[in-house]
Chains A and B, each alone.
Chain A
Amino acid sequence: MSTSEIPNLKSLLSSRRGGGFQSRRGRGHNNPGASTENIEAVKDSVVQSTDHDAATSRLSCVELGYLDDPFAAAFVTPGEPMSRRLPLLNRGTYVRTTAIDHLIEKFLSTSPSSPKQIISLGAGTDTRFFRILSRHGASINLVYHEFDFPAITSSKVGAIERSPTLSSLLTTTTNPTNAIRLEISDDKTRLTSERYNIHPIDLRSLVDTNTPTTFPNLSKTTPTILLSECCLTYLPSATATSILHTLVTTILPPPTPCSLILYEPINPHDAFGRTMISNLASRNIYLPTLTTYPTISSQRRRLKDAGFEGGQRAADTGFIWKEWVGEREKERVGALEMLDEFEELELLLGHYCVVWGWRDGGPDGAFTRAWEGIEEQVGDGA
């Protein structure tokens, strides 16, 4: 992306601040940035719609037995025609979800009683918090935060309210001591509780260091995982870098141990990658960081540069399927559907990666211990 294509964030942000997402819909009269803003609003809504895609893919996986997630159905509109995904997409969703689960489980099970925090960027309708909760129960010492556009958080909070399972989980398990009152804002975009918090925020506002960077119930000192599952990749690289910088310096100031888990596409320069970029562009979806960090080596460097000095590891999802998934589980998953798209699956899995890096403040840190044995891919895996 050339510099001229990068939208002027400053002007966008100044007109946006305080107004929230809704106000952007209104045509700003004498606003010189209006046309850019409208284009951006279209792009934003496209990016937001990618969450619906992810939610449907997740549900497809659950219904076929790939994933055990009783909460997935709550976030897909009831009565919506169920679109069953192709076997290779189900396989990919399975690998992506279980890989991140694995990293998070290792973290949660390291000194289980000590406090931990997870911040999920662009979480959308992700059900991970509820899955963790049902696995670990109320005793878990974890505070979970989700950041996303208000348009997304409001539909999520609405879905949680509508679902008896989720609301009862919230009132019982997530607020065991009632130390913090479970609260939902009037516009339904914000949810706060002892364990689980949904924050309506356009991540780009974090670029501006003048934005207040305190969030309800967010600890500045607890060891924290930052999670970006196909989120930062939709932003211009400079913006993504600034957001990360704010997160690891202001919101989680050193020496707070923190880590980043990324799930992003890679390898844009081969035939499959070029086709991916042009196909997504025809749907108005752009992945600016993909060309900035085209390989898993460049992703490792990116994490190091972002301050995750403790370690930077990466593997593409093809490697993860081969090396992380046990033989038994492979057999189980392999038996769920007949998969004929084998070469295509390898191509697809080779174009997504999981990257994880951390800042621990020492060799005894939580992340070093949690992730020491996890196998990564050597070099670029080519």
Chain B
Amino acid sequence: MSSGGSDLDKAIQQLRACRPIPENQVRELCYKARELLIEEGNVVGVDAPVTICGDIHGQFHDLMELFRVGGDVPDTNYLFMGDFVDRGFYSLESFLLLLCLKVRYPDRITLIRGNHESRQITTVYGFYDECLRKYGSANVWRYCCEVFDYLALGALVTGTATNLEPSEAPFADPSSQASMPGLDQDIEIETLNSNGEIMFRFARNGEVSQPSQAASAPSSSPLVDTPSRTGPSGTGATSSSNGSRGNDGGAVLCVHGGLSPLIDTIDKIRLLDRKQEVPHEGAMCDLLWSDPDEIDGWGLSPRGAGFLFGADIVKCFNHKNDLSLIARAHQLVMEGFKEMFDSTIVTVWSAPNYCYRCGNVAAILELGEDGSNAGFVRRANGDAGRKQNSVLMERGERGREGPGRRYRVFEAAPQDSRGMPAKKPVADYFL
């Protein structure tokens, strides 16, 4: 199997049909993947445009739906924030397909490590058993775990656009169009359904359009934590007094879980020795296990690993590292994505109807490319615009102007295409 060769394309074709590839091919693939991943830093640099995805958890048919909604590789650049395996029935096919795509199109797809990419967790949550069942031995599981150890811990997306190029698409609910910001305004956020129809559109200048009733998750808006958006111009996320004008959305840090009390700069992530099993504690563990929460400072995590961190921690970290946004996964959110702390951090969740039980929708996040400043790539976590931002920080508000964000929300792949095993392996409910 040579990179870019027809063997690899054949393997991709076979995996796309949700059929596992032979053990010797897996070995070769994993070897190639490690050679590739070892060259990546702990924090991979990624240029916009890119589509950021959260947990997949072996829901292969939903991963296919994700590619249908978000565009295929290599036409779309993807960044997957870990948790490819466990829980779903097709961890093996899902992970191997992503790995094949990584080897085939290394610059088009970035894979970072989630807390489930670990020997210990996969023995409890299904991937180990699945490999054993599908190959009769644990060899494939072992090969995959060796790849897990080489996955990057984070990614830094640069060159994002502040404003979205508005989608030329119909509105999901045509009557809601009137309440949406017009195309003469700078668009900060768009939410599209799986048919590519516009569900909501938010303008950068502070005007909010109410979510339409056509939204698939009407119970609560995933944007609930961005109340400042509704305030008068200049009081919150809408500030345009930022020093670095133009159309640069700032750097976006992507990590599976979140922050660590041991990490105050991105450079400290770069210094970690990542090529090992996920430890039970310490910075590397925290990056993969922590969660944002409505608390001040740091708190103990109910998960038993990682920490909880509050808005102050995120705002301080983003300011110090000149980030406009942290994108992370790790937590199921019923609406597919959830922005918190004045849009300084977002959770992206890409496993619809998680575990075939939770009834949630999934989302992916598209960050556009800053086309206004072609050729200039701003320095990652440099200090442009920091002075002005410090004023905002003192007022307890958000620092950098964030990137324009397009969320594509999608539901689980239709039941009939899913090919669920007839016999359910676990008790789903209390009976």
Contact of A338 among B305, B358, B424 (CB under 8 A): B305
A274 to B359, CA, bound (A): 7
| Cβ of B5 under 8 Å from chain A | no
Contacts A280-B429, A334-B304, A340-B116; is A272 near B121 (CB within 8 Å)?
no
User: Which A residues touch B121, using CB under 8 A?
Assistant: 338, 340
Residues on the B chain within 8 Å of A378, using CB: none
Given contacts A230-B431, A273-B359, contact A342 B303 (CB under 8 A): yes
A92-B430, A340-B121 known; A347 vs B358 contact (CB < 8 Å):
yes
The reply on B283 being an interface residue by CB < 8 A is no
Q: How far apart sit A334 and B301, CA to CA, in the bound complex (Å)?
A: 11
- Taken together as a complex, chains A and B put the C-alpha atoms of A30 and B424 apart, in Å, by 39
Please state if A265 and B429 are interface contacts (CB–CB under 8 Å): yes
| A22 close to B (CB within 8 Å) | no
User: Are B359 and A85 touching (Cβ within 8 A)?
Assistant: no
Complex: A276 Cα to B334 Cα, angstroms: 15
Closest to B353 in A: A275
B256 to chain A, nearest CB (A): 12
Taking CB atoms and an 8 Å cut-off, the chain B residues in 353-393 that contact chain A are 353-360
Q: Could you tell me the distance between the alpha carbons of A380 and B427 in the complex, rounded to whole angstroms?
A: 27
Of all A-B residue pairs in the complex, the 10 with the closest CB atoms, nearest first, are A271-B359, A50-B431, A275-B359, A343-B332, A272-B359, A53-B431, A53-B427, A343-B331, A92-B430, A272-B358
B333 — nearest CB in chain A belongs to which residue?
A343
Of the candidates B331, B356, B430, the one whose C-beta lies within 8 Å of that of A230 is: B430
User: A178 → chain B, closest Cβ, in Å?
Assistant: 38
Q: Compute how far the CA of A197 lies from the CA of B152 in the bound complex, rounded to whole angstroms.
A: 62
- A152 to B: closest C-beta gap in Å: 13
Q: How far is the CA of A344 from the CA of B428 in the complex (A)?
A: 12
B425 to chain A: closest residue by CB: A83
The minimal Cβ–Cβ distance linking B362 to chain A, given in whole angstroms, is: 12
Does B125 count as interface, using CB distance less than 8 angstroms? yes
B232 CB to nearest chain A CB (Å): 32
Residues of chain B within 8 A of A274, CB atoms compared: 359
B431 partner, pick from A54, A272, A275, A338, beta carbons under 8 A: A54
Q: How far is A273 from B360 in the complex, measured between Cα atoms in Å?
A: 11
By the criterion CB–CB under 8 Å, are B305 and A57 in contact?
Answer: no
Q: Say whether A85 contacts B426, CB under 8 Å.
A: yes
Cβ contacts under 8 Å, A87 to chain B: 124
Number of A-B pairs, beta carbon distance below 8 Å: 89
How many whole Å from B355's CB to the nearest CB in chain A?
A: 7
Residues in B with CB closer than 8 Å to A56 are 427
Interface of A with B (CB < 8 Å)?
50-51, 53-54, 56-57, 83, 85-87, 89, 92-93, 96, 230, 265, 270-276, 279-280, 283, 285, 334-335, 337-344, 347-348, 352
A272 and B334 CA atoms in complex are apart in Å by 9
The answer to whether A89 touches B427, judged by C-beta atoms less than 8 angstroms apart, is yes
The answer for the CA separation of A280 and B428 in the assembled complex, in Å, is: 9
Chain A's closest residue to B431 (CB) is A50
Residues of chain A contacted by B426 (CB below 8 angstroms): 83, 85-86, 89
**A234, chain B: closest CB distance, angstroms:** 9
Alpha-carbon gap, A338 to B124, bound state (A): 9
Residues of B within 8 A of A89 (CB): 426-427, 430
A342 and B257 alpha carbons, distance in the complex (Å): 13
> Are the CB atoms of A344 and B303 closer together than 8 Å?
no
| Chain B, 334-363, CB within 8 A of any chain A CB | 334, 353-360
Residue of A nearest to B428 (CB): A279
| Contact indicator per residue, chain B 293-319, by CB within 8 Å of chain A (1) or not (0) | 000000000111100000000000000
Choose from B120, B302, B333, B357 the contact partner of A276 (Cβ within 8 Å): B357
- B427 in contact with A270 (CB, 8 Å): no
**Contacts of B217 on A, CB cut-off 8 Å?**
271
Q: Does B219 contact A (CB under 8 A)?
A: yes
Contact present for A270 and B430 (CB under 8 Å): no
> Considering the complex, which residues of chain B in the window 116-174 have a beta carbon less than 8 Å from any beta carbon of chain A?
116, 120-121, 124-125
Closest-CB distance, B291 to chain A (whole angstroms): 8
Q: Return the chain A residue nearest B359 by Cβ.
A: A271
| Complex-state Cα separation, A281 to B91, whole angstroms | 26
Contact between A340 and B303 (Cβ–Cβ < 8 Å)? yes
Residue numbers in B under 8 Å from A283 (CB-CB): 424
- Chain A residues with CB under 8 Å of B51's CB are none
Select which of B302, B304, B334 is within 8 A of A271 by beta carbon.
Answer: B334
A197 to B77, CA, bound (A): 67
Bound-complex Cα distance A340 to B290 (A): 11
Q: Are A279 and B358 in contact (CB under 8 A)?
A: no
* Bound-complex Cα distance A96 to B427 (A): 16
* Interface positions of B from 384 to 416, Cβ below 8 Å from A: none
Q: Is B115 an interface residue (CB 8 A)?
A: yes
> Which residue of the partner chain A has the closest CB to B125?
A340
Q: Report yes or no: B357 in contact with A275, Cβ–Cβ below 8 A.
A: yes
A53 CB to nearest B CB, Å: 5
- Shortest B401–chain A CB gap in Å is 30
* Identity of the chain B residue whose Cβ is nearest the Cβ of A47 in the assembled complex: B431
A334 to B355, alpha carbons, bound, how many Å?
22
A-B contact pairs, 27 of them (CB 8 A): A56-B427, A83-B426, A89-B427, A89-B430, A92-B430, A96-B430, A265-B430, A270-B219, A271-B359, A271-B360, A273-B359, A276-B357, A276-B359, A276-B429, A279-B357, A280-B429, A283-B424, A335-B304, A337-B124, A338-B305, A339-B304, A340-B116, A340-B121, A340-B125, A342-B331, A344-B332, A344-B358
